[in-house]
Structure 1
Amino acid sequence: MLTDRPLLFALQGSEHYATRVAQRLGCQLALHEERDYEDGEHKCRPLASVNGREVVVFHSLYGDDRQSANDKLCRLLFFCGALKDAGARHVQVVTPYLCYGRKDRRSQPQDPTITRYLATLFEACRVDRLVALEVHNPAAFDNAFRIPAWNVQCTELFAEHFARFVGDADVVAVSPDSGGAKRAEQFRQALERQLGRSVGSALMEKHRAHATLTGTLLAGDVSGKTAIVFDDLISTGETLKHAGLACQKAGATRLFAAATHGLFTAGSHLFDPPLFEHIAIFDSVPPFRLLPECVTQHVHVLDSTALVATLLAENGAFDTV
C-alpha cells in the first residue's frame, strides 16, 4: 500500500489548476463528492479509498461569486479531516493562494494575528504538510506553522518572463513599499542572472491609513530606465498605481508590473487608463473580475503548475513531470 502513488483531489473551483498539475505528473484527479444543504451547510467526502494512502488536496482560497474565502477554507478543512478519519496516511494541502496572509502581525492594540489562527486550524484537522505560492510574509508564515509549510517562490519564473521584454535597456526593480523590499531584491537578483548584467533597485514610500495611500519619496534612480514594480499580490491595485505614477514622474521610460496573485478586487479600475505596458501575474487566482479584453491587452498570466508539479515529484511517489 505504501508504494501506491498519491491520490490527488481538487475541491470545487480549483479543478482546472489541479488537473494541469496532475497531467504533468502523469495521473488523474481522484473522485470526491461535495454536497450543499438547504441551510448553507455542506459536506465533502472522497469517493476513492484513501485508507493507508498519501493524499494531495488542491484548493486556492480566494473568494469568488460562488464561495467566499471563508467558505472555501471551511470546505478544505472539513475535507482534510474526513480524509484522516477515512485512514489517509499523509495529507498534503496545496493552496496556490492562501487566504488571510496579510493579517500576520498586530498593527493596532488587540489586533488578531490570523495567519497563526489559520495554522492552528490546519493542524487541528491533522494536515501533515501545506504548500502555498508566494505568501505575503514568509517569516510570519514559517513561524505560524508547526507542521511542514512550504512557501513556493515564483521569482525565477518572473525573471525569465521579463528578460524577454526589457531588451538592452537599463532596468530597475521597484518595491512599492518597504515591506516588499526583500521580495523585490530577490527578483532583482534573479533578473540580473537572466540578463547577465546589472539591474538597479528602487523603493517607494507608502503609508496607509484605512483606504488612503500617502508617500511621495522614491528612493532609487529610474530616469531613462525600464521600471518593473514587483509585489506579491494585487488587491485594488492602488499600491501598484502609486508606485507606477511615481516612477513615471521620475522619468522612467517604460513601466511593467508583476505580482503573483491577481485579485483585482476593484475590477478593471487599475487599467483605466492603463499605466503599465503589461502586468504579469500567476494562475493562482484567475483574473475573473477583469473584462476579457482587459486581460488580453494588459495582463500576462503565467503558469505555475510546472513549479508545483516539480515540488510534488521531488517529495512524493511520482515518476515524471
Structure 2
Amino acid sequence: MTASARDIIFNHSERVAPLGLIAIPGSEELGKKVNDYLVTWSREAGYDYDNFLIENECPRFSSGDGKALIKNTVRGYDVYIIADFGNYSLEYPLFGRMNRMSPDDHFQNLKRIIQAIGGKAHRINVITPILYGGRQHRRNYRESLDCAVALQELQNMGVSNIIAFDAHDPRVCNAVPLMGFDNIIPTYQVLKALFKYVNDFKMDTDHFMVVSPDEGALNRNMYYSSVLGVDLGMFYKRRDYSQVVNGRNPIVAHEYLGNSVEGKDVFIADDIISSGESMLDIAIELKKRNAKRIFAYATYPIFTNGLEAFDKAYADGKIDYVFGTNLSYRTPELLSREWFCEVDVSKYLSYLIMALNHDMSISKVIDPHQKISALLEKHKND
C-alpha cells in the first residue's frame, strides 16, 4: 500500500468512527493478525495506534448458561466482530463434563457480544468467514433455513454489514435485502500461494487446466479459468434419488465433461473440504484420465473425517497439494502435513476493514483482476 493510500485511509476526518475490532472466542488467531496489520499501517501513516482489539470474554456456567463481557468502551465506535463458527477446538464445562463448542454455541456468543454492546456502537459489522448454517442454502419441503433466519436475527439486533468469504450460495443474502452483505472470494491470494509453493509449471492451455468438482462450484472455477486463460472442465454428481443417507442422496458416479486432461496439471477449487470423499474421487478420476498433477483448493479445509485418506492419496500420487485459507480453524495435524499449503487472507481482510471504516469503495478490492494480471506477468517473466 502506498503512503498516499495510507494517508487517505487514516485521515481522521474521513473515517466513519473510531475503529474497534472484537475477536470472539475461537477467532483470536485471525483477529491478532488483522490487528497487527492495522497497527502497522496506522503507524506508517503517522498515527499513534497501538491496538484496535477490544478485550472481551464469553464465560459459561456449568449449567450451560453463558454471558458476554466487553472490557473496553465501544461507545461511538465502528465495531468489527470476527466470529469463527467452524472452530470446534474450544470446550466448556457442562454438568461436570467438557463439551465441544458447535456452530450454535459460537452463534450464541456472537449474539451475546452484540447484546453487551447494548446499542452504544456507531455501527456494528460482523465478519463471518463461514456463514452460520450456510451449507443448507435452500429450503425443500418442511425444512429449516437456519442461515436466512440467522441473518434476519442479526439485522434485527442492529448489525449493519455482514462480510462472508466464499459463501456456499451467496443468494442467501436475499433474506436481508436492506442489510449490507459482501461475499468475498480470495482468488488473488490463492493464486499467489499457488505460485509460491509450486513454481515448476507452465500456465498455458497445453500444460494447465481448471476443473470444477461439481455444478455448484462452476462459477468460481470459471473465474479461475478465465483470468488464467486456460480450459475449463467439470464433473457432475450422478446421485441415487431413490434413497437418502445421512440427509442426502448418495453419489453413484462422478461424470466428466470437458477437454482432455492428459499430461496437464489440474487445479480444482471448491468452498469446503468436509469429508473429502468427493475431492478424492475426482482426483482418482482425473488420474485415470492421465492428468499430471492435482492441485486442490478449498476455502475451508475442515476435514471432518480426519486426514488419513488424504495422506494415503498423497502417498499414492493421487493428489499433490491441497490449499486452504486461515479464515477458520485448522488443526495442528493439518498444518504439519507436507501436502497442505496455507493461504493467508488476514492482510486482505485488514484492507477490507480499513476501506469500510473510511467509507471507501471496495469494488477494486473485491475484483482483483489487475493484481492477478500483474501476478501472471511476473510469473511469466520469472
Comparing 277-286 and 210-219, the one that deviates more: 210-219
Name the Cα RMSD after superposition. 2.2
Helix, strand or coil: the match of 1:309? Answer: helix
Is structure 2 residue 54 aligned with structure 1 residue 37? no
Deviates more, 1:128-137 or 1:117-126: 117-126
2:343 is equivalent to residue 302 of structure 1: yes
Paired letter, 2:159: V
How far does residue 42 in structure 1 lie from its aligned partner after superposition? 0.7
Counterpart residue number, 2:115: 81
Moved more, 22-31 or 277-286: 22-31
Deviation string for 1:33-90 (max 9, x for gaps)? 322112111111211111222111111111413211110011101211321x251120
Structure 1 stretches of at least 4 aligned residues deviating more than 6 Å after TM superposition: none
1:173 equivalent among 188, 210, 225: 210
Q: Equivalent residue for 2:188?
A: 156
CA contact (8 A) 1:5 1:318 kept: no
What is the CA distance between 1:158 and its match in structure 2? 1.4
Counterpart for residue 59 of structure 1: 83
- In structure 1, the residue matched to 2:245 is 210
1:238 aligns with 2:269: no
> How many residue pairs align between the two structures?
308
SS at match of 1:35: coil
Q: What does residue 201 of structure 1 align with?
A: 232
Whether 1:286 and 2:286 are equivalent positions in the alignment is: no
Question: Is the deviation greater in 204-213 or in 115-124?
Answer: 204-213
Residues 212 and 221 in structure 2, CA contact (< 8 A), matched pair in contact too: yes
1:116 is aligned to 2:148? yes
Give the structure 2 partner of residue 316 of structure 1: 357
Measured after TM superposition, the shift of residue 318 of structure 1 is 10
How far apart, in 2, do the equivalents of 1:63 and 1:28 lie?
23
Shift of residue 123, structure 1, vs aligned partner = 1.3
**Does the aligned pair in 2 maintain the 1:61–1:99 contact within 8 Å?**
yes
SS in 2 for 1:291: helix
Match of residue 9 from structure 1:
22
* Alpha-carbon shift at residue 135 of structure 1 (Å): 0.7
* 8 Å CA contact retained: 2:22, 2:56: yes
Match of 1:195 in 2: none
Change (3 A) 1:207 1:76: farther
Question: SS at the partner of 2:113?
Answer: helix
Distance across 1 between alignment mates of 2:194 and 2:122 = 42
Q: SS in structure 2 opposite 1:172?
A: strand
| Structure showing greater Rg | 2
Q: Give the counterpart letter for 2:253 in structure 1.
A: G
Residue by residue over 1:120-143, the C-alpha shift from the partner in whole angstroms, topping out at 9 and shown as x without a partner, is: 1211221111111111112x2331
Instruction: List per-residue Cα deviations over 1:122-173 (Å, max 9, x = no partner).
Output: 11221111111111112x2331223101111111221222245252261111
Q: Is the 8 A contact 1:287 1:295 kept in 2?
A: no
Letter in 1 for 2:237: K
Name the CA distance, whole Å, in 1 between partners of 2:236 and 2:65.
Answer: 45
Q: Distance in 2 between matches of 1:10 and 1:168?
A: 41
Displacement after TM superposition at 1:29 (Å): 1.0
Q: Deviations over 1:96-142 (max 9, x none)?
A: 22231110112x4222222211211211221111111111112x233
Distance 1:58 1:90 in 2: 14
Match of 1:94 among 121, 124, 127: 127
Structure 1 unmatched ranges of 5 or more: 193-197
In the other structure, the counterpart of 2:375 is none
SS at match of 1:217: strand
* Partner in structure 1 of residue 95 of structure 2: none
TM-score (norm 2): 0.75
Q: Secondary structure in 1 aligned to 2:79?
A: strand
Q: 1:43 to 1:14 in 2, by over 3 A?
A: same
What is the CA–CA distance in structure 1 between the aligned matches of 2:303 and 2:175, rounded to whole Å? Answer: 27
Q: 2:73 aligns with which of 25, 42, 49?
A: 49
Pairs within 5 Å for 1:245-284: 245-273=284-312, 274=314, 275-284=318-327
Q: Tell me which amino acid in the other structure corresponds to 2:299.
A: T
**Which residue of structure 2 lines up, in the alignment, with residue 127 of structure 1?**
159
SS at match of 1:80: helix
| Greater alpha carbon shift after TM alignment, 22-31 vs 249-258 | 22-31
TM-score, structure 1 normalization: 0.89
Q: Are 1:103 and 2:136 an aligned pair?
A: yes
Q: How far off is 1:225 after superposition? A: 0.6
Q: Distance in 1 between matches of 2:149 and 2:293?
A: 42
Superimposed CA distance per residue, residues 157-207 of structure 1 (whole angstroms, 9 cap, x where no aligned partner): 2122224525226111111111111111112223x1xxxxx3111101214
